[in-house]
Structure 1
Amino acid sequence: MSRLLRCHVGEELPIVTLPPVSRLDLIKYAGASGDYNPIHTVDDEAKKAGLPAIIAHGMWTMGNLAKLFTPYHEEGFIQDYQIRFRGMVFLGDIITLKARLTEENVQYSTFKVNAVNQNGVDVIKGIVTFAKYKDNEGSS
């Protein structure tokens, strides 16, 4: 079993590739988040807003970054996100999520994270601070 706490500075977590973004994904996210801005679900409204097509909610993409850390929920939790939105995500895009350990101490592991589309273009870049549970101290 792979453990996050055994990861060393410079190593990457296993990459997560999302299925192609669907309209249903965005409709479900709109309902869950309360963000009903029609640029995320209605073609004509996105075009009226000057967009080439419907775009995913930025927070939908950001929220998906947590999937990188889901396998490690027994070792700790995401304490903090620092994210910069770099590009738009469109219907049909295939998003790949990546994380590389940059710093660690007894309490925290810090990761550079990013999400890229199928063309290798960054859509999100940032830093995630993963807080380690105290009972895991010394197990890294």
Structure 2
Amino acid sequence: MAATVKYDEVEVGQEIPAVDYQVRRVNLVKYAGASGDFNPIHWNERFAKSVGLPDVIAHGMYTMAQGGRFVTDWAGDPAAVIDYGVRFSSMVVVPDDDNGATITISGLIEEKLEDKRIVVVVNARSGDSRVLSKARAVVQLS
């Protein structure tokens, strides 16, 4: 499947509109099962607070995956992302209520490369905190 976004249709400086991703405790439990990361800071409020955290926090790799999901959904093809890296800059605190937390992710076309590849800067925030920094994806467009 080829990316549905066309190289000739994007410009450097073009913004990719923000998308909100809800994170609830059930998402963290499912992710723990899939990843094998059962650290109690990701599901046990009492434990998380006992080690100085404000509450249960999302797995860093779960947060990173939401950024990847954002780019692949925008590109229209998961195989279009040929490189992706981030640094973790803050926690996504997930309260035990019906809303959980929200990760808001947006993007910016930073550079057009050879061979119809582009660099997308990914901006991920939860509340007032930037949760990923230096987040960039190289995307192969058609």
Fold-level similarity (TM above 0.5): yes
1:73 equivalent to 2:76? Answer yes
C-alpha displacement of 1:44 = 1.5
- The one-letter amino acid of 1:82's match is G
Identify the match of residue 111 of structure 1 among 94, 109, 120: 120
Instruction: Map Cα deviations across residues 58-115 of structure 1 (whole Å, 9 max, x no partner).
Output: 0001001122222423495111112011100011221100110011123211011120
Identify the match of residue 101 of structure 2 among 93, 97, 108: 93
C-alpha displacement of 1:12 = 1.1
On the 8 A contact 1:13/1:68 being kept in 2, the answer is no
- What's the TM-score once normalised by structure 2's chain length? 0.82
- The one-letter amino acid of 1:51's match is L
**Bigger RCO of structures 1 and 2 (CA < 8 A, at least 6 apart):** 2
1:10 equivalent to 2:13? Answer yes
Unaligned runs of 5+ residues in structure 2 are 95-99
Where in structure 2 are the equivalents of 1:14-25 lying within 5 Å? 14-19=17-22, 21-25=23-27
RMSD of equivalent CA atoms: 1.9
My pick for the range that moved more, 109-118 or 2-11, is 2-11
Unaligned runs of 5+ residues in structure 1 are none
Q: Which runs of 4+ in 1 moved over 4 A?
A: none
- The one-letter amino acid of 1:96's match is T
